[in-house]
A = this chain, B = another copy of it.
């Protein structure tokens, strides 16, 4: 039996990717797509890929259809989700939120980094954090609650935090990382990560044939990565923009604790990672000596991880490659929804990228 699904903020890039996935999902029925900016426009006028595939028309965010949905995905800027989620939950609609609003457990941290007051901090205690491979428990609880008839809230992890944490968590959780000292995260993203808004940064002639770092030391994904990995005040996160549409590669350099430095071999590391992710369809740990290519995962919900042990300098370098719009946003949201609503987590999610 189909789940009736709505998408708020459906005209942005993550929203459009959600539409693509939901339309192809055997158990989801896309009932409403909202966008204040594009309200009244047919979907296919804004995104010609959907011509002949869907007759949906964008409505404004306060569309009544939303309250009739079983679940709503919110792909809106921060603070915009907070404005709608409480009412939706109260109306019995489960919310899968792609924004940052409910990711940070501590509202004070949210307020410090997002310069906005959190208007429903009580929900932070009960929401499920949406990064399935690293926080199974949250989603299992949400699934159980949903089965009991409650409406649930899932806060999906951000794109950089997803790639970064998938790459780093197994080492961190194994206790291999030194107790102190900075953990460096240098990541590169394609331009879809900068959003659909047209501005000096996203103009083709500005982004093409160019590389630049941005938000250096100030990027809001910093506290999220620190929270996921449990490395408060230690993450140095520098994102970079590169001239491609989709794809995100995060390179994490972890200083090793003395014992790990002495005893670990690269094979140990690779084995541990493979065991850590055993049975997790979407995460592939590459063999020793291999590095992931973002093109291998674009268009899919897959993540690939590469590992290199540098004993000389005493670090482990872990790289994580994802499609920032899929596993970094819409794909992960659908994966979380699958788990919460009782489906196999792979339902409706592409796994094979175009080979070229």
Selected from B235, B249, B299, B352, the residue in CB contact (under 8 A) with A53 is B352
A321 within 8 A of B: yes
Contacts of A304 in B (CB 8 A): 48, 51
B315 touches A20 (CB 8 A): no
Interface string of A256-290 (1 = CB under 8 A from B): 00000000000000000000000000001010000
Whole-angstrom distance from the CB of A237 to the nearest CB of chain B?
A: 9
A352 touches B49 (CB 8 A): yes
Selected from B199, B204, B242, the residue in CB contact (under 8 A) with A245 is B204
A208 touches B245 (CB 8 A): yes
The contact size tier of chain A is: 35 or more
The CA-CA distance from A310 to B242 in the complex, in Å, is 23
B251 touches A209 (CB 8 A): no
A313 within 8 A of B: yes
Selected from B186, B247, B351, the residue in CB contact (under 8 A) with A186 is B186
A255 within 8 A of B: yes
Which one of A81-89, A122-130, A142-150, A211-219 is at the B interface?
A: A211-219
A294 and B211 contact, Cβ closer than 8 Å, known pairs A202-B198, A325-B356: yes
A351 and B53 contact, Cβ closer than 8 Å, known pairs A242-B211, A313-B235: yes
A352 and B50 contact, Cβ closer than 8 Å, known pairs A217-B310, A294-B210: yes
The CA-CA distance from A202 to B196 in the complex, in Å, is 11
B202 touches A308 (CB 8 A): no
**Nearest opposing residue in chain B for A189, CB measure:** B211
Contacts of A313 in B (CB 8 A): 182, 233-236
Contacts of A314 in B (CB 8 A): 182
Number of copies: 4
A115 within 8 A of B: no
Contacts of A341 in B (CB 8 A): none
A244 touches B51 (CB 8 A): no
B291 touches A236 (CB 8 A): no
The CA-CA distance from A268 to B355 in the complex, in Å, is 41
The CA-CA distance from A308 to B239 in the complex, in Å, is 13
A242 touches B351 (CB 8 A): no
A139 within 8 A of B: no
Whole-angstrom distance from the CB of A169 to the nearest CB of chain B?
A: 19
The CA-CA distance from A199 to B205 in the complex, in Å, is 12
The CA-CA distance from A294 to B217 in the complex, in Å, is 20
A298 within 8 A of B: yes
A57 within 8 A of B: no
Of the A-B pairs whose beta carbons lie under 8 Å apart in the complex, a sample of 19, sorted by A's number, is: A13-B355, A48-B304, A181-B181, A184-B253, A186-B253, A203-B204, A209-B246, A210-B247, A211-B247, A211-B293, A212-B292, A213-B319, A216-B291, A233-B312, A234-B313, A235-B313, A243-B243, A243-B244, A246-B354
Pick the 7 closest A-B CB pairs, nearest first: A198-B198, A186-B186, A16-B355, A210-B295, A49-B353, A216-B308, A47-B355
